[in-house]
Structure 1
Amino acid sequence: MFPSHNSLQTQTSVLRASFANGGAGTFVTDKYHTAPIKIAKAFPLEGQLGVIVMDVSPGLLNGDRYEFDWRACASTYTFITNQSYTKVHPSEEEGGSSMLQSFVLDEDAVIEHMPEPIMLYQSARLDNETRVTLAPGAVWMQADVLCPGRTLRNEVFRYRELRNSLTVYYGEELIFVQRQRVKPEEQMLSASGCWEGQTHWATFYLFSDRVNGTLLEVLQTVLDHLPPFQQHTVLAGATLTYRHGIAVSAASTAAWPLQQTMRLLWQAARMSLLGKPPLSFLKS
């Protein structure tokens, strides 16, 4: 977590929820939250449980910390999203905001985490950490889209700093670690091999002991046949991780082409790995 300014009082907000399988489907067994984040709605969703997270504040302010703790019991199937963009507001020179999301999945549990994009305002600083622990047969997938600021206000790469991290365990074995640090004022983001002319970034991760090369081929085929996105080009690639995972990175010059790309990858992964068609309300 970023150091806080001496005069800044850190505000931590917590959301914890557990899911179980009662035979008739997945349901919430217990939950706890502190303002301003909470579960707005949990509902049956085509053979799984849909969960929508609400943030009743303007977003992450200087000194704010959000902590999410998701626990999925055996054979549960949960789809988690939120209502709108995660907005990160300006920070003080030595301040910042942070978010920690923890996912623990028991045997054969499935969590699809598909949040709305993260928007970094001018002078924002965010430490964004995700931790995942998988049991045999469990499936965790997540799509993230990162916006460089409010582009119509000329805020492209005018945030202070972004730290992104993802750690994945299979049982007690560490199988994946990813670290990203972006400091626009100090880095040549437009250099070759870096962001170049792109402004928006997206990642799709899928971890499970069910992952294999066939699934990678399915997702690469999606990337090889993306539809046209008007004047926006999507640059993307997919790879198998060290063990039990697939990582996809994509870049473009707007959020919506990346959102659509992540959606196509997600739909293909659902069908190939789980035999599940696209959710009806997301079908194009």
Structure 2
Amino acid sequence: MADAAKPQEAGQRSVLRATFRHNGVGTELIEKYHTAPVKIAKAFPVQKQLAVIVMDVSPGMLEGDVYEMEWTAGSRTHTMITNQSFMKIHPCYGGGTASLTQTFDLEAGAVMENMPEPVMLYKEASLLSDTTIRLSAGSVWMGADVLCPGRGLRGERFVYRDYDNRLSVYLGEELIFAQRQWINPARQRLQAKGSWEKATHWAYFYVFSDEVGGELVNKLQATIDGYESPAAHNVTAAASLTYKHGAVVSACSTAAWPLQELMRLLWDTTRDALFGMPPLRLLQG
């Protein structure tokens, strides 16, 4: 008899596509398409840009689920994308995985800010996340990732199966950045010295553009140096230039919320440095 607590692969495929253009006054959503359970819940103008909130009407990603999201930003558009809550990855008992594929295509002078809520990996969860960014001259893409080790109140900490996070960035036809983060807690010594040690949560903040240089990195590092970690959850972080046309901040802690706060401060710093724009507090409830 099959174990009722170990469901087979669900195999739900959900597609979301959205296209933005500048209408001479601001950014508008001109095309959208989605299949359940993911959809655009709301799109509205704020601070001379368009904010987009993505909703997942399911309990979260199950084994075999495939989410595909395609974002196309026309010339001079300015868009901010977020979601309503943590991305929850449920157990994958059958040996399969959940898969999230995202592409961001930016035309000349377009700006996209991708600031989702953290990823939460349940016990025995497995997630493949593959993101491709295609930039044009003068375009800017920035985003943040925060990864949680499991549901702490249920005693879950690094009991997920694996997390495979891939990012590729192109400027025109040139590959300017490629990163793969693969975490398999059962096979890796995450608490070893020089690895995660006591940290349980990890975050990245990215900025890619042909306008990014050392001045922005210095401002990001100054923001990090000025951030006061909460006493119970020390945050370790550093900023650096990428090989070409980019800056990355890597940060770790023992809780998600201090990392989320640091990501917001880095976001504020970048908006001010590149656009002279004030903080966007859409994510605060």
- TM-score in terms of structure 1 length: 0.96
Which residue pairs with 2:5 in the alignment?
none
Identify the residue that residue 50 of structure 1 maps to in structure 2.
51
Q: Once the two structures are superposed, what CA deviation does each residue of 1:42-95 show, in whole Å capped at 9, x if it has no partner?
A: 001110000000000000011101110000000000000000000000002421
The yes-or-no answer on 1:252 pairing with 2:234 is no
Is the 8 Å Cα contact of residues 146 and 202 (structure 2) preserved in structure 1? yes
Q: CA shift at 1:282, angstroms?
A: 6.0
1:173-184 map, 5 Å? 173-184=174-185
Which residue of 2 is the match for residue 12 of structure 1?
A: 13
**Inter-partner Cα distance in structure 2 for 1:8 and 1:281:** 36
CA–CA distance in structure 1, aligned partners of residues 280 and 227 of structure 2: 20
Residue of structure 2 equivalent to 1:228: 229
Measured in 2, the distance between the counterparts of 1:106 and 1:174 equals: 16
> For the residues of structure 2 that align with 1:228 and 1:238, how far apart are their CA atoms?
16
Shift of 1:30: 0.3
Contact 2:64–2:96 (8 Å) recurs in 1: yes
Q: SS where residue 204 of structure 2 aligns?
A: strand
Q: Distance in 1 between matches of 2:17 and 2:151?
A: 31
TM-aligned CA deviation for residue 228 of structure 1: 3.2
Structure 1's consecutive aligned runs of 4 or more residues displaced over 3 angstroms after TM superposition are 280-284
Tell me, yes or no, if the aligned pair for 2:9 and 2:94 is still in contact at 8 Å: no
Aligned to 1:82: 83
Q: CA deviation at 1:230?
A: 3.1
Mapped pair 1:63 → 2:53: no
CA RMSD in angstroms comes to 1.3
In structure 2, stretches of 5+ residues that fail to align are 1-7
User: In 1, are the aligned partners of 2:229 and 2:235 still within 8 Å (CA)?
Assistant: no
Asked whether the 8 Å contact 2:10–2:62 carries over to 1, the reply is: no
The change in CA–CA distance for 1:58 and 1:136 in structure 2 (over 3 A counts) is same
Q: Distance in 1 between matches of 2:199 and 2:28?
A: 41
SS at match of 1:242: coil
1:3: which partner in 2?
A: none
Q: Contact between 2:9 and 2:92, CA under 8 Å: does it hold in 1? A: no
The corresponding residue for 1:242 is 243
Percent identity reads 56
Task: Sort the Cα spacing of 1:82 and 1:71 in 2 relative to 1 into closer, same or farther, 3 A.
Answer: same
Indicate yes or no: 2:103 matched with 1:102.
Answer: yes
Give the equivalent residue in structure 2 for 1:135. 136
> 1:205 — aligned with what?
206
Q: Which whole-Å CA distance do the structure 2 matches of 1:219 and 1:256 have between them?
A: 19
CA distance in 1, matches of 2:83, 2:173: 30
1:140-183 residue CA offsets vs partner (Å, 9 max, x unmatched): 00011000000111100000000001000000000000001111
Number of matched residues?
278
Deviation at 1:283, TM superposition (A): 8.1
Does the residue aligned with 2:231 lie in a helix, a strand or coil?
coil
Letter in 1 for 2:224: L
Per-residue deviation, 1:12: 1.2
1:26 deviates by 0.2
Instruction: Compute the displacement of 1:281 (Å).
Output: 4.7
CA distance in 1, matches of 2:194, 2:219: 26
Report what 2:271 is aligned to: 270
Q: Aligned partner of 1:45: which letter?
A: V
In structure 2, the residue matched to 1:125 is 126
Cα shift readout 1:10-64 (whole Å, capped 9, x = no counterpart): 2210000000000120000100000000000000111000000000000001110
Whether contact under 8 Å (2:44, 2:50) holds in the other structure is yes
Shift, 1:8, TM fit: 3.4
Q: Could you tell me which amino acid in structure 1 is paired with residue 161 of structure 2?
A: R
Give unmatched runs, 5+ long, in structure 1: 1-6
Question: In structure 2, the residue corresponding to 1:270 is in which secondary structure?
Answer: helix
Assess, with a 3 A threshold, how the Cα gap between structure 1 residues 50 and 281 changes in structure 2: closer, same or farther.
closer
Q: Please state how far the C-alpha of 1:274 moved relative to its aligned partner.
A: 1.2
The corresponding residue for 1:31 is 32
**Closer/same/farther in 2, CA of residues 157 and 123 from structure 1, 3 Å limit:** same
